[in-house]
Amino acid sequence: MIDSDGKPRAYEPADPSLRSYHRAVWALSADGEPQGHVACVVSEMAWPKRAPWLWFLVVWPDGRRELPFEDYGPGWYALREIDEGFLDYHLPSVTVEQRFLWRRVSANKPGVPRRFALKKLSGEVAARRWDELALKDEDF
């Protein structure tokens, strides 16, 4: 994915217009067992002007959400995986409390790395799941 000169190798998404990724939802599974969902919104970067910017959010079966993560071209590293039907991610994060000087701080610690199989939900099913998961564009 990186050229010999250290630059990301360009990737052409399965849908170059990226319209089919906006408000898309995929079912996550591992070893044939449902593991949750990953949802996506498409927005635009301020620089370079009007460049597409994808944001993804993983929602676990119990409703917990991971922090959103981004992807953009020319590399499209997460999108490459998604277009191939998998996502290398991690199991649910846990909140850990740590002490820093005299204060207690909380931080999210990602679960162990895992490769998830993905199945894109059809438009109607994805829209229904978007509502069931109570997703809003502002969540990304």
- Tens of pLDDT, residue by residue over 52-102, are 999 999 999 999 999 999 999 999 999 999 999 999 999 999 999 988 888
Cβ proximity of 108 and 95 under 8 Å: yes
Cβ proximity of 37 and 25 under 8 Å: yes
- pLDDT (0 to 100) of residue 101: 87
| Whole-number Cα distances in Å, 70 to 4, 31, 83, 96, 97 | 25, 26, 15, 24, 26
pTM of the model: 0.89
Instruction: Assess whether pLDDT exceeds 70 at residue 34.
Output: yes
